[in-house]
């Protein structure tokens, strides 16, 4: 028996943002009843969001560089297992293969998710992680706990919002505010009818805005647009 017991395959359902906290939502692939929310940093959230939306950044992105190097050496990601939840911190194991042998590497779940999405590799969560989440939420009534990724800054969970993460954004503060105002109008405005044509045009504009927001590193706007696009697709009329 392996060290983490039974596992359940999950899908990356969404990347959400709330009060500068970025959450990756994993949901059971088959019965879709249970979820695992993981609090991650802004860099990791962007890397995962870009993979979900299949957006190519204008500048080389770390996860894409890693994929290029691995592919060059004929290495593939076999799977990611989120193996443990201990002291409100998630831990992961990345399985890498060269086609003949497989090696295991300890990895932060957020990094493992960003890489696995780029390789179209399956992601699993240990059954024990689900049980631990259920037990901890049962013992802490009220708002559900949201454990964090096992990053180096686990003693300072808000450190990702410090100078290093947002240094490039400071000179463009006024422009960012204008972009957010435009985005608010886009998200809240009436679609101008529920015809297939009007909904399709609205979807096209929002998709372009999503690509722009990701490339401009406006992560909160990107997460809001992703949610809005998902809702809009549900409203589309059949052709």
- CA dist., res. 94 & res. 104, Å (int): 6
Tokens of 223: 């997460």
Q: How far apart are the C-alpha atoms of 81 and 120, rounded to whole Å?
A: 14
Task: Look up residue 174 and give its DSSP letter.
Answer: H
Q: In order along the chain (239 residues), what is the average pLDDT of each group of 10 residues?
A: 86 80 89 89 88 80 92 96 93 96 96 96 96 80 61 40 29 40 48 58 74 69 77 60
Distances (CA, A) of 140 to 97, 145, 146: 40, 8, 11
User: Rounded CA gap, 19 and 161, in Å?
Assistant: 11
Rounded Cα gap, residues 7 and 23, in angstroms? 22
Q: What residue ranges of the chain are covered by domains with CATH 3.10.690.10?
A: 7-161
CATH number of 7-161: 3.10.690.10
Is residue 38 packed enough to be buried (19+ CB in 10 Å), middle (13-18) or exposed (0-12)?
buried
At 141 the pLDDT is 55
pLDDT recorded at residue 64: 92
Distance of alpha carbon 201 from alpha carbon 224, whole angstroms: 18
pLDDT, residue 194, reads 53
Q: pTM of the full predicted structure?
A: 0.63
């Amino acid at each position: 028996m392996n060290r983490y017991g039974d596992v359940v395959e999950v899908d990356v359902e969404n990347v959400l943002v709330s009060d500068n906290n970025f959450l990756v939502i994993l949901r059971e692939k088959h019965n879709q009843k249970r979820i695992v929310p993981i609090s991650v940093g802004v860099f990791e959230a962007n890397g995962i969001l870009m993979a979900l939306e299949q957006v190519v950044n204008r500048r080389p992105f770390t996860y894409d560089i890693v994929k290029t190097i691995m592919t060059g050496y004929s290495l593939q990601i076999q799977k990611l297992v989120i193996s443990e939840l201990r002291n409100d911190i998630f831990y992961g194991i990345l399985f890498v293969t060269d086609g003949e042998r497989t090696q295991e590497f300890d990895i932060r779940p957020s990094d493992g998710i960003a890489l696995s999405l780029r390789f179209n590799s399956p992601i699993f969560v240990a059954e024990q992680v689900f049980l631990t989440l259920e037990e901890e939420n049962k013992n802490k009534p009220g708002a559900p706990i949201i454990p964090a990724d096992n990053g180096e800054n686990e003693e300072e969970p808000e450190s990702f919002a410090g100078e290093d993460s947002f240094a490039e954004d400071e000179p463009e503060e006024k422009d960012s505010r204008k972009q957010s105002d435009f985005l608010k109008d886009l998200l809240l405005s009436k679609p101008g009818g529920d015809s297939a044509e009007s909904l399709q045009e609205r979807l096209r504009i929002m998709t372009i805005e999503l690509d722009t927001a990701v490339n401009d590193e406006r992560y909160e706007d990107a997460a809001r647009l992703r949610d809005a696009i998902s809702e809009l697709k549900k409203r589309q009329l059949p052709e």
